[in-house]
Amino acid sequence: MRAIVIYATCEGQTEQIAQRIAKGMTAGGVPTDTFDVTRHDITELAVESYEAVVLGSSLHYAQHDPRIAWCIRQHRDLLADIPAAFFSVSLGIVSKRFKDRAEARRLADEFLQEENFTPSRRACFAGALRYSRYGWLKKRLMHWIAEKSWRPTELNRDYEFTNWDNVDDFASEFAKFIHSCRREPTPQPRFAFTRKPQREYSVHANASP
Ligand SMILES: Cc1cc2nc3c(=O)[nH]c(=O)nc-3n(C[C@H](O)[C@H](O)[C@H](O)COP(=O)(O)O)c2cc1C
């Protein structure tokens, strides 16, 4: 049994979070791979070969990455059957203004609703302000937004807001959930050619037949 964290990142913070989740899930007994849709072609990934999936995207201009949306649409039936989770990475979630935090949550919820995806677990994580990686215009724009939200505003350094304890908790809790979804093995017919391939893990594992 293997799981995968599929993620989209622009300046690398979602990647760090994805790697940390994969490490935490692996430590929790669920060997987990990672896949970056911004660097690799998602159509080449055999998502159906995994028993559990985590999808993650950062927010840019109030949007989650369309490649993650595409992946959800392509694998909707599979994602409804296996343990699946979603996380959103943003700065709105650490704003001192209540309305910004509510907006970050609303955008994550709306994204899932639009894609008709109800993950077993979801989370909104705080991202990073990486002035060193922005071009001139983006730097000024982010600086202006940071000032509005009372975030640090020194342009000559980067700021990380991710709470790694929250990320670790998410990973270990999801790994436990995956274990709880383990199906009881059903008796298989004697002859190989009459056997149906069966997933070991399903969110419907404990549902009555
Ligand atoms: C151009 C740009 C637009 C952004 N737009 C939003 C936004 O609309 N809402 C928000 O909460 N955060 C926004 N952010 C903050 C990012 O979500 C945050 O920096 C995150 O850590 C980026 O993750 P990544 O490095 O994985 O792309 C924006 C950041 C940039 C650089």
- C-alpha 135 to ligand 1 mean position (Å): 14
Q: Is the CB of 142 under 6 A from ligand 1?
A: yes
Fold of the domain built from segment(s) 3-127+164-184? Rossmann fold (3.40.50)
- Give the strand pairing for 3-8 and 32-36: parallel
CA-nearest residue, atom 2 of ligand 1:
60
106 lines ligand 1 (CB under 6 A): no
In 3D space, the residue among 123, 120, 116, 122 whose CA is nearest the CA of residue 201 turns out to be 120
The DSSP line for 8-70 is: E-SSSHHHHHHHHHHHHHHHTT--EEEEETTTS-GGG--GGG-SEEEEEEE-BTTB--HHHHH
Domain ranges in the chain are 3-127+164-184, 129-161
Residue 148 tokens, joined? 């509005």
**C-alpha torsion sign, points 186, 85, 110, 36:** negative
For residue 124, what are the contacts with CB-CB under 8 A and spacing of at least 6? 87, 88, 89, 90, 93, 104, 105, 108
- Coil, strand or helix at 181: coil
Q: What is the residue with the minimal CA distance to atom 6 of ligand 1?
A: 60
Cβ of residue 9 lying under 6 Å from some atom of ligand 1: yes
Termini Cα distance of the chain: 23
To which residue do tokens 């159906």 refer? 48
DSSP type of residue 84: E
Q: How much is the pLDDT for 193?
A: 63
Question: String of b and e for 159-193 (b: at least 16 CB within 10 Å)?
Answer: bebbeeeebbebbbbbbebbeebeeeeeeeeeeee
Measured between alpha carbons, how far is residue 23 from residues 5, 32, 177 in Å? 10, 7, 16
59 CB less than 6 Å from ligand 1?
A: yes
**Ligand 1 centroid, distance to 63 Cα (angstroms):** 9
Per-residue model confidence (pLDDT) at position 207: 65
Listed as ranges, residues in the chain with pLDDT below 50 are none
- Pocket flag, ligand 1, residue 102 (CB < 6 Å): no
Q: What is the pLDDT of residue 47?
A: 95
Closest CA to 126 of 97, 150, 159, 154: 159
pLDDT at residue 202 in the model: 86
